[in-house]
Chain A
């Protein structure tokens, strides 16, 4: 049997760190990435006897915002529960999570797959605290024990569980990218995977195509997916592996597998028989979480425009291409940069021109320097002013690149740099005529050709003028003047 007779069913569980200052249940910092180990801990997040959790209001607010951005219903009453298991990164012996009564129900995310829009439904969203970090060696040096850093313990997370609506690894990739964009847009999280602010586990199973819509095949959970690419590769590997097992008449074992990015394969971590029995029960130290309709509406009112709506508006308002819109809206900061630039000049610059400069020159330099949009040395007002100078013919596109380079290194305004360096394009008739006359004398043959009607020969003379003027002559104007003179 070949893999083609199977269809793939994928569901994703994504953990997102909520962008709070402090942890979910204590006043320790939620942003201790890079801090000294265990410098950011207290009796609550280390599970000292008698310490009590106190819920962070902002965390709940951001969780509601995420739910609304994902079209998810916010439950008026949800319950925190203890998920019990023993592991040294979990100091209390349980994780405070939500189980039977999560705060967010249903929801959906629209993704683009194969050029069409596909709706991926969500199962639920719940809040929980993060665990600590466990280390087994330091810089390759083996230790006689394991080391625990609890700086992360208690950091607020939401877990977004999709329905098994994803049909291919590429769709999973697209789902994650879209989810990240949405959550960054609404400023729920920075979703920086390197800092562990976004993590993903995948569930994947195969079933014969003829059973479409019927019972799901045995599901395998894949963990240790540290990038969107890893998710895609691990799923591709796993689908092939399962197809082989099923194809040869075997049975897929229900198990958890780890993705090994170096070996590019998954391996069994634990089978379902040994899986944890978490014995969830309601957290006695926290009252049920009541989220009023009024609170939900307040959060909804401050929800910014979502990426999809913004893409539509950018197309209608500015007539930009699908490609430009895609690049600009991939990051909210970039789309903001563009729109602020458009508003900064009167009359507004050409949207196409500004967008071009942002998506090529600006983004190129930002990426090369590994910088965020907010760190750009060239302000949007200055970039918009530069495009205005190009539009009104003050400088050529080629000069603009040079000016942009100087704007980047100095942070100064385009106009100042142009004026100071004498870069401004020369459109003054008197000076242009002087250069042209010299150029005609030095290019007699070309001049004769032009006089004889071969207007294409004008290019040689224009070239000479540009050299003479060190690129400052306005080429369109020069072209027109030469034809006038040689008529």
Chain B
């Protein structure tokens, strides 16, 4: 079942996407198809299967707690779209 225009608008706002009216209809239909497929999968009996949270396997991989400063911190700043002094600069945010 296609997603409603309102649902699509909500998701678009969350994803910071600007989409046209035509796209709303198209995405509503396409996402609806995907969700229908998920519904179909849900019909399977998974009562004896653990939920998959990861495909990496259950091995813990740890890093020891040691500081190693990254030498290219300044380059990270230089790569940013905008900066001021030692800061990344973004559009004004008011909370």
Binding site for B on A (CB under 8 A): 20-22, 25-29, 36-43, 46, 48, 54-60, 77, 79, 84, 86-88, 101, 134-136, 143-150, 269, 276-277, 279, 282-284, 286-290
Distance of A129 from chain B, by nearest CB (Å): 14
Report the bound CA distance from A59 to B88 in whole Å.
Answer: 28
Residue pairs across A and B with CB atoms within 8 Å: the count is: 135
Assess whether B84 is in contact with A134, with CB atoms less than 8 Å apart.
no
Assess whether B93 is in contact with A88, with CB atoms less than 8 Å apart.
yes
Query: With A42-B70, A149-B87 in contact, is A57–B63 under 8 Å at CB?
Result: yes
Instruction: Give the residues in chain B near A269, CB-CB below 8 Å.
Output: 95
Instruction: Give the residues in chain A near B86, CB-CB below 8 Å.
Output: 36-39, 149
Report the bound CA distance from A58 to B65 in whole Å.
Answer: 6
Assess whether B88 is in contact with A150, with CB atoms less than 8 Å apart.
yes
Report the bound CA distance from A38 to B86 in whole Å.
Answer: 6
Instruction: Give the residues in chain A near B94, CB-CB below 8 Å.
Output: 136
The reply to whether the CB of B49 lies closer than 8 angstroms to some CB of chain A is no
The reply to whether the CB of B38 lies closer than 8 angstroms to some CB of chain A is no
How many chain B residues sit at the interface, stated as a range, is 35 or more
Assess whether B76 is in contact with A43, with CB atoms less than 8 Å apart.
yes
Report the bound CA distance from A217 to B63 in whole Å.
Answer: 45
Assess whether A41 is in contact with B73, with CB atoms less than 8 Å apart.
yes
Assess whether B60 is in contact with A43, with CB atoms less than 8 Å apart.
no
Assess whether A147 is in contact with B84, with CB atoms less than 8 Å apart.
yes
Instruction: Give the residues in chain A near B55, CB-CB below 8 Å.
Output: 284
16 contacts between A and B (CB under 8 A): A20-B65, A27-B70, A37-B87, A42-B70, A55-B63, A56-B65, A58-B64, A84-B14, A135-B87, A145-B84, A145-B89, A148-B88, A148-B89, A283-B54, A284-B54, A286-B54
Report the bound CA distance from A84 to B68 in whole Å.
Answer: 28
Distance of B48 from chain A, by nearest CB (Å): 17
Instruction: Give the residues in chain A near B82, CB-CB below 8 Å.
Output: 145
Query: With A38-B76, A56-B62 in contact, is A145–B67 under 8 Å at CB?
Result: no
Assess whether B64 is in contact with A287, with CB atoms less than 8 Å apart.
no
Report the bound CA distance from A279 to B13 in whole Å.
Answer: 13
Per the 8 Å Cβ criterion, residues 36-93 of B in contact with A are: 53-70, 72-73, 76-77, 82, 84-93
Distance of A51 from chain B, by nearest CB (Å): 10
Assess whether A148 is in contact with B57, with CB atoms less than 8 Å apart.
no
Assess whether B77 is in contact with A145, with CB atoms less than 8 Å apart.
no
Instruction: Give the residues in chain B near A149, CB-CB below 8 Å.
Output: 86-88
Binding site for A on B (CB under 8 A): 10, 14, 16, 53-70, 72-73, 76-77, 82, 84-95
Report the bound CA distance from A109 to B70 in whole Å.
Answer: 40
Assess whether A27 is in contact with B66, with CB atoms less than 8 Å apart.
yes
Listed from nearest, the 10 A-B pairs whose CB atoms lie closest are A42-B70, A58-B65, A147-B87, A57-B62, A27-B68, A148-B88, A54-B63, A37-B86, A282-B53, A88-B90
Instruction: Give the residues in chain B near A21, CB-CB below 8 Å.
Output: 65-67
Instruction: Give the residues in chain A near B77, CB-CB below 8 Å.
Output: 38
Assess whether B60 is in contact with A55, with CB atoms less than 8 Å apart.
yes
Report the bound CA distance from A60 to B65 in whole Å.
Answer: 10
Please give me the residue from chain B that is nearest to A53 by CB atom: B63
Report the bound CA distance from A287 to B57 in whole Å.
Answer: 6
Query: With A58-B65, A287-B58, A287-B61 in contact, is A145–B76 under 8 Å at CB?
Result: no
Scoring B14, B69, B73 by chain A CB atoms within 10 A of each residue's CB, the highest score goes to: B73
Distance of B78 from chain A, by nearest CB (Å): 11
Query: With A54-B63, A55-B61, A56-B62 in contact, is A146–B91 under 8 Å at CB?
Result: yes
Report the bound CA distance from A57 to B88 in whole Å.
Answer: 30
Scoring B54, B68, B88 by chain A CB atoms within 10 A of each residue's CB, the highest score goes to: B88
Distance of A280 from chain B, by nearest CB (Å): 12
Within the complex, which residue of B16, B69, B90, B92 is in contact with A28, where a contact is CB–CB below 8 Å? Answer: B69
Report the bound CA distance from A101 to B10 in whole Å.
Answer: 27
Instruction: Give the residues in chain B near A28, CB-CB below 8 Å.
Output: 67, 69-70
Assess whether B69 is in contact with A145, with CB atoms less than 8 Å apart.
no
Assess whether A146 is in contact with B89, with CB atoms less than 8 Å apart.
yes
Assess whether A288 is in contact with B73, with CB atoms less than 8 Å apart.
no
Report the bound CA distance from A119 to B60 in whole Å.
Answer: 35
Within the complex, which residue of A42, A58, A148, A282 is in contact with B73, where a contact is CB–CB below 8 Å? Answer: A42
Distance of B52 from chain A, by nearest CB (Å): 8
